Structures are given as structure tokens and as C-alpha cells.
């Protein structure tokens, strides 16, 4: 895997906990690597999807008690990835090198996050970006996605922080062809990422409630592939936490948590459908961009005054040393 240190040592979502039935094995993908998830009690493991014996895919095997059993020769591995049983012959202890490559894995916000790094500092789960509304009981929260993009995750993230496309891609929802101007907004880069503040736009339907008006966005880009925003509308607040799984350099999944402290009378399914409609409008546009990988050389594409967010994002990525999914 040719991954830059920044992304390798980041936490990345690979699956929703709701999609992991007990005693099952779930194949997932990250940075082109085939991984698997399985559970032993309340613990979720993330392993390389390959048996060290003859290279068979362990995700084709089965969970037996607190072991995962290879489908090819029945070798059983404990939650630490160590082989504890070789059925073909009797031995007091399988060799120490009969071990599956395991990765750090935690559950957060209903998602399974995996870190491919090895340093203690990188592996701290405190490095997972905060979902600011998560602990606030006043907010109704629901997960949308995953959404598949045949494009770099960095292109998908840049689309997320771009508001000047709203009147054209999301006309009638987040934008209106009669309200296309983007007013100046504040952009700051600091040790925690990038903030975009006081970004005002007019939206005919900001959130699926059908009530239009001017709204104010405040974005925070926490990590190269995770960002959030808070949007003030109807005297309430809508928070959105967006995080991306880099499946390949030109393929990704987007996960979107929505948090609202108003509109309690609107069915969740209606609100979910609104968000999914908006994302499905974005996907073909993002997939149409060439190159599919994000150019970090500012001279590679023409920039406009409304592109302050994208310019700051590209400069920040370059300074961090991000190369995966870029040109």
C-alpha cells in the first residue's frame, strides 16, 4: 500500500455497526487493501483478509465461539490473530508466526474505524474527529449512506465544502437559480484544521422541512477526509458530520450523520430521503471531474473568489504531505 503517513496514521470508517450481525464476517476495503471485520463478544476485530498459511480469504470462513476459522484448512485464530488450532495434525502449540495481520479498530458514532498506523500517538482513539452534537440529547440523529463515489475521496470532500454549486446542482433544495451570489466568508487554518465561518446562502429547502430562507453555515475540516458543519435555520440548528472511506485512490464511500434540534414532527425517513437525494445529485458531478484525483498544484485549475474554501483545503493538504488521491 503506497499511502502517505498522514492518511496511514488517521482513523477511517469502514462499516456501520448496524451492518455487522453477530457471529458473521464482513469483508471491507481500505486503501486498496482487503480487510475483514468480525466480533468476539463486544469486541470488533479488523484483520487483513488473508490466511498466512496459503493465502485464502479468511472472510470466506466462519466464526466459531471466540475464534475465526479459515475456510481452506480449518486453522482457527483467536481475537489477537494468533493461530490456536491446526486440525491437520496434533501439536501442543501452533508456531508463533502463524498469525493474521491485525489493525487497530474502534467503534465511534455507530461506525467502525480502522487505523493502519503503528505509532502509539497515531493509534489513540482520541484522534477520531469530534461529532459535536453526538452527546446532546436535544438533537435527533440519523446516519445516511454509505454513498459510493467513483472518484478520489478528496474530490468528494472538496465538493462537501463548496457552496457555490448549490443553485445549479441542488436547485430547489439547497439553492435557487435566482440567488447565486456567494458573499464573503471567513477562512482560517489552525492546528485543528480549517474553519469556514459566517457563510450565508439562501436556500428554498435547507433541510427537508420545506421552509426556505437565508441560512448561515459554519464548517470545520478536522482531517483530510472528515469535516462537519453547523447550519442555523428556522431558529434551530442542523449539524452534519461527513467522513469518507478511501477504498482506492479513485473510489470512496461517504458516511453522513445528520443532527437536528428542530422539526421533531417530521418523520425521520422523510429527512433521510432529503439528504440522500441531495448527495445523489452531487455524485455524478464529482465523478465527472477530471482528473479524478485532486490537483494540489493551484495552477492546475482556475480558481474564483468564491473558492476560498477549496484553495485553503488544497494548501493544507499539501502542507500536511497528503499524496494519496492527489495529482
Task: Report the side by side order of strands in the sheet with 193-203.
Answer: 140-149, 251-260, 236-248, 226-233, 213-223, 193-203, 186-190
Q: List, for residues 55-94, the tens digit of each pLDDT value.
A: 999 999 999 999 999 999 999 999 999 999 999 987 778 9
Report whether 13 contacts 245 (CB < 8 A). Answer: yes
Q: How far apart are alpha carbons 281 and 276 in whole angstroms?
A: 9
User: Cell for 93?
Assistant: 502449540
The predicted structure's pLDDT at residue 1: 65
Q: How far apart are alpha carbons 216 and 187 in whole angstroms?
A: 14
Q: How far apart are alpha carbons 115 and 62 in whole angstroms?
A: 24
The predicted structure's pLDDT at residue 208: 86
Residue located via cell numbers 471491507: 28
Q: Is the pTM of this model over 0.85?
A: yes
| DSSP-assigned beta bridge partners for residue 105 | 114
**Residues constituting the chain:** 327
| DSSP-assigned beta bridge partners for residue 26 | 37
Q: How many CA atoms lie within 13 A of 200 on its CB side?
A: 5
Q: Is 118 exposed, middle or buried (0-12, 13-18, 19+ CB in 10 A)?
A: exposed
Name the residue among 130, 140, 144, 173 with its Cα closest to residue 260: 140
Which regions in the chain score pLDDT beneath 70? 1
| DSSP-assigned beta bridge partners for residue 220 | 195, 228
Q: How far apart are alpha carbons 127 and 200 in whole angstroms?
A: 30
Report whether 225 contacts 198 (CB < 8 A). Answer: no
Report whether 225 contacts 324 (CB < 8 A). Answer: no
What does DSSP assign to residue 56? -
The predicted structure's pLDDT at residue 313: 98
What are the CA-CA distances from residue 10 to residues 72, 244, 283 (Å)? 33, 12, 24
Q: Are strands 33-40 and 25-30 parallel, antiparallel or unpaired?
A: antiparallel
Q: Is 116 exposed, middle or buried (0-12, 13-18, 19+ CB in 10 A)?
A: buried
Amino acid at each position: 500500500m503506497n499511502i502517505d503517513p498522514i492518511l496511514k496514521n488517521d482513523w477511517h470508517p469502514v462499516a456501520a455497526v448496524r451492518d455487522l450481525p453477530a457471529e458473521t464476517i464482513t469483508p471491507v476495503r481500505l486503501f486498496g487493501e482487503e480487510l475483514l471485520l468480525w466480533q468476539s463478544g463486544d469486541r470488533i476485530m479488523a484483520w487483513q483478509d488473508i490466511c498466512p498459511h496459503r493465502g485464502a480469504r479468511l472472510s470466506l470462513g466462519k466464526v466459531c465461539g471466540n475464534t475465526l476459522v479459515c475456510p481452506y484448512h480449518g486453522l482457527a485464530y483467536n481475537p489477537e490473530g494468533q493461530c490456536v488450532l491446526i486440525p491437520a495434525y496434533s501439536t501442543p502449540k501452533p508456531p508463533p508466526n502463524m498469525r493474521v495481520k491485525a489493525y487497530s479498530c474502534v467503534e465511534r458514532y455507530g461506525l467502525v474505524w480502522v487505523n493502519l498506523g503503528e505509532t502509539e500517538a497515531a493509534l489513540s482513539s482520541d484522534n477520531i474527529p469530534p461529532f459535536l452534537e453526538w452527546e446532546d440529547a436535544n438533537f435527533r440523529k440519523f446516519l445516511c449512506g454509505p454513498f459510493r463515489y467513483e472518484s478520489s475521496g478528496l474530490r468528494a470532500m472538496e465538493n462537501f465544502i463548496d457552496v457555490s454549486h448549490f443553485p445549479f446542482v441542488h436547485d430547489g433544495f439547497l439553492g435557487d437559480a435566482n440567488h447565486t451570489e456567494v458573499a464573503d466568508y471567513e477562512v482560517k487554518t489552525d492546528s485543528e484544521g480549517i474553519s469556514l465561518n459566517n457563510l450565508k446562502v439562501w436556500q428554498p429547502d435547507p433541510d427537508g422541512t420545506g421552509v426556505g430562507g437565508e441560512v448561515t453555515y459554519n464548517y470545520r475540516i478536522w482531517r483530510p477526509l472528515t469535516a462537519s458543519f453547523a447550519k442555523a435555520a428556522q431558529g434551530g440548528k442542523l449539524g452534519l458530520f461527513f467522513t469518507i472511506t478511501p477504498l482506492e485512490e479513485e473510489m470512496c464511500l461517504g458516511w453522513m450523520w445528520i443532527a437536528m434540534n428542530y422539526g421533531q414532527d417530521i418523520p425521520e425517513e422523510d429527512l433521510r430521503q432529503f439528504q440522500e437525494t441531495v448527495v445523489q445529485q452531487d455524485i455524478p458531478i464529482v465523478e465527472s471531474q477530471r482528473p479524478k484525483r485532486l490537483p494540489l498544484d493551484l495552477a492546475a485549475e482556475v480558481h474564483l473568489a468564491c473558492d476560498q474554501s477549496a484553495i485553503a483545503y488544497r494548501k493544507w493538504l499539501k502542507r500536511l504531505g497528503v499524496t494519496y488521491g492527489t495529482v
